[in-house]
A and B are shown apart, each in its own frame.
Chain A
Amino acid sequence: MLGRWCYESRQLVFVIFEIARGDEPPFRGGWQSRRDRWHGLDRYPDFEDFCDWWHRKGKDEAGGNDLGSRAEAEAAYETWVDSRRSGKGA
């Protein structure tokens, strides 16, 4: 009983924390979507193709490090689009 109360109180604190940050509460329409995490890139129909290219080719050519930010993800996507245009893509 006490344990349950503790967990529920804790959860309430998390929700208040997020609302205080200006985010929407997690109950309507889910939490942060993949679209938010990938800065909208996954809305593109070729997002999965981009992921395959990134993990199999693009990242290696870029030195092997992970994407460090949304801006880097966008830049990598642009690189992929350009390489496809020039016929060097995956």
Chain B
Amino acid sequence: MAMEREGSQDIALALDPGNEDGTLSALRHAADDPEGPWQPAMIGTLLGKTTSNRVRNAAAVALADLNAPEGATLIAAQVARPEVAAASGTLLYALDRLGAALPLDAFLTVIEHGSFEARAEALELLHADRVDLADVRDPGAVLNRLESVLVSGSGDAVDAAAESLVVLAPRLSPGSASSGSRS
């Protein structure tokens, strides 16, 4: 109980915009002290609550440096948030460092709402066969989301959506080896 309260206080302090530089410094050194206060669960909480791109990026890199097994899930959950996808380049870099796959929904969110950098990182994962297609129940809806970007998007978004469609359409087609399973 006392430890939980202590952790809450640490999180509150870490989320304080006035303490941003201190939080960044602590996250950068988290991997130097794996037994220290900055455990993956606490970094994951910070990752989900912070509104600072700098803190979110440092938290994701810290999870990668700690090589935390739960790190990939924590990071992917943030990438799937449209408001985060626009600044998810470093989250995807951290995911790559962890050797993890990106869930398809998060991938689509990056194509729809991501930055140039995030889309480039996501497409790298797609071409490396590291976008997880295991739980695709409605392949048509996936293709529809990408088609919508083709129609209403612009610039890099259209290029990324077109590239994604060309790669994903055959993989999601009925009877393909990867349809309905991890490719």
Contacts and interface: CB of A to CB of B under 8 A. Distances in A.
Given A34-B124, A60-B54, 8 more contacts: A3-B174, A7-B169, A7-B173, A10-B169, A17-B150, A26-B166, A32-B123, A64-B53
Contacts of A72: 116
Contacts of B136: none
A56 interface: yes
Given A66-B117, A67-B116, A59 B173 contact: no
Tell me whether chain A's interface is mostly helix, strand or loop, or mixed.
helix
A70 interface: yes
Given A10-B169, A31-B163, A31-B167, A55 B116 contact: no
6 contacts: A7-B172, A37-B120, A66-B116, A67-B116, A69-B116, A73-B117
User: Chain A contact residues (Cβ within 8 angstroms of B): what range?
Assistant: 20 to 34
Interface of A: 3-4, 7-8, 10-11, 14-15, 17-18, 21, 26, 31-32, 34, 37-38, 51, 55-56, 59-60, 63-70, 72-73
B88 A66 contact: yes
B93 A51 contact: yes
Given A11-B169, A31-B163, A66 B24 contact: no
Contacts of A10: 143, 169
Contacts of B93: 51, 55
Given A10-B169, A14-B166, A32-B163, A55 B90 contact: yes
Tell me whether chain B's interface is mostly helix, strand or loop, or mixed.
helix
B8 interface: no
A17 B86 CA distance: 26
